[in-house]
Amino acid sequence: MGRELRYFEYGDEETSYLAARDPRMAEAIEAVGFIRREVHPDLFAALVNAIMGQQISTKAQATIWKRMTDSLGDVTPECIDALSNDELQAFGLSFRKVSYIKGAAKRVLAGELDLDAIAALPDDEVRRELSGLPGIGAWTAEMLMTFSLQRPDIMSFGDLAIQRGLRMLHHHRRITPELFAKYRRRYSPYGTVASLYLWEIAGGAVSGLRDWAPKTKPKQEGRS
């Protein structure tokens, strides 16, 4: 029997709040409808999946993840630690990613990394603890907070698709940190649901919207 899929949980409370705060977001929510985004509630498995997905396509990540879960079942520190580097690389992982994943597994098993304790911390502390792990930067930490811990108020400035969604929705040429902070405050305490819709907008789910970022002109060769 296959693993039961879990999805980010939200409802009318979140969408009604966002719609009341932002008429343009209200139109996007109406156009897109309810979004089903898969989550990985187990933080260790989600961490492995996140490291696996760095700098590769979503399709490639899904292929490697399926290969791993078909072989291992549940992805746990114990099963990762039991595999050799070569066996992990055979799933399609780079040597560096294997090093990060094996290192995290060994730290969990040694009691040096308590993911349950991290999961109970406030957002800022979770972000700091996760981004301090080898192979986990600020953006990956925020994706883990979104798609594993399901924190309700995460908007990542480092996510280029979210910036694109904001440009498209609000007709901005550029999203500065100050402008991003304004929208983060506007959508709080439901920034994560706003992020879900901004990702959809960035992907073209709402007709009639375009990216207002300035077009970059191709460089012309100098005259000889």
The total number of residues written for the chain in this structure: 224
Query: Which pLDDT belongs to residue 224?
Result: 33
Amino acid at 204: G
pLDDT tens, position by position, 158-184? 999 999 999 999 999 999 999 999 999
Examine the pLDDT at 27 and tell me if it is beyond 80.
yes
Confidence of residue 221 (pLDDT cuts 50, 70, 90): very low
pLDDT tens, position by position, 67-120? 999 999 999 999 999 999 999 999 999 999 999 999 999 999 999 999 999 999
Mean pLDDT calculated for residue range 24-52: 97
Output DSSP code: residue 3: P
Q: Which fold has domain 42-147?
A: Endonuclease III; domain 1 (1.10.340)
Q: How far apart are CA 101 and CA 93, in angstroms?
A: 10
Instruction: From 137, 54, 63, 65, select the one nearest 96 (Cα to Cα).
Output: 54
Q: Report whether 150 contacts 9 (CB < 8 A).
A: yes
Confidence of residue 216 (pLDDT cuts 50, 70, 90): confident
Q: In what helix (H) or strand (E) does residue 163 lie, and over which residues does it extend?
A: helix 160-170
Q: How far apart are CA 88 and CA 85, in angstroms?
A: 5
Q: How far apart are CA 47 and CA 54, in angstroms?
A: 11
Query: Which pLDDT belongs to residue 87?
Result: 98
User: From 1.10.10.60, 1.10.1670.40, 3.40.1350.10, 1.10.3210.10, which CATH number describes the 6-38+153-202 domain?
Assistant: 1.10.1670.40
Mean pLDDT calculated for residue range 45-54: 95
Per-domain residue ranges for the chain?
6-38+153-202, 42-147
Residue 173, Cβ density class (10 Å: 0-12 exposed, 13-18 middle, ≥19 buried): exposed
